[in-house]
Amino acid sequence: MNFSSPGGDKDRVQDIIRDGTFYASRLMATFVLYGAPKDFQVLFNGEKVNLPFMFKVGDRLSMDLNGVYLGLTFPGACFGENIVRGEIKFNKDGALCNMILFDEHEPKKISWKDIKRACRHSANNVF
């Protein structure tokens, strides 16, 4: 698992998470499709959508990669009592699909012992 912040990745030695407690304003699980063509298209329920595109857990997406389709679904995701949502966008590395587990304006203290449940399930198909 990698931890990152707006200032860059956290140092594994200097920024150790002690006792399962840390501060964060945003936590994401990210699926990256490196080298995706810049003109790739995302389909939601068979219809082309503009990027960035926000989606809900359980929604079905397809990515058109020059005639090869990658189907992507997150049938389940949870992080405590937070409402988990997804976002797909494009950056210099390729296509990024984020499951946003936690998103606040100000950093909040998070303790793993207080998070009673945390999970992410994904299903991918190529056709």
* Structural domains in the chain (count): 1
Q: Is residue 82 part of a domain?
A: yes
Q: Is 48 in contact with 73 (CB distance < 8 Å)?
A: no
pLDDT, averaged across the chain: 81
* pTM for the model: 0.75
Q: Is residue 67 part of a domain?
A: yes
Domain holding 75, by residue range, is 21-113
10 Å Cβ neighbour count for 28? 16
Q: Is residue 50 part of a domain?
A: yes
Q: Is residue 83 part of a domain?
A: yes
**Torsion-angle region of residue 53: left (phi > 0), alpha (psi -120 to 50) or beta?**
beta
Collapse the DSSP code of 126 into the 3-class scheme (helix H, G, I; strand E, B; otherwise coil) and give the result.
strand
Q: How confident is the model at residue 44 (pLDDT cuts 50, 70, 90)?
A: very high
Collapse the DSSP code of 117 into the 3-class scheme (helix H, G, I; strand E, B; otherwise coil) and give the result.
coil
Q: Is residue 9 part of a domain?
A: no
Mean pLDDT of 49-55: 95
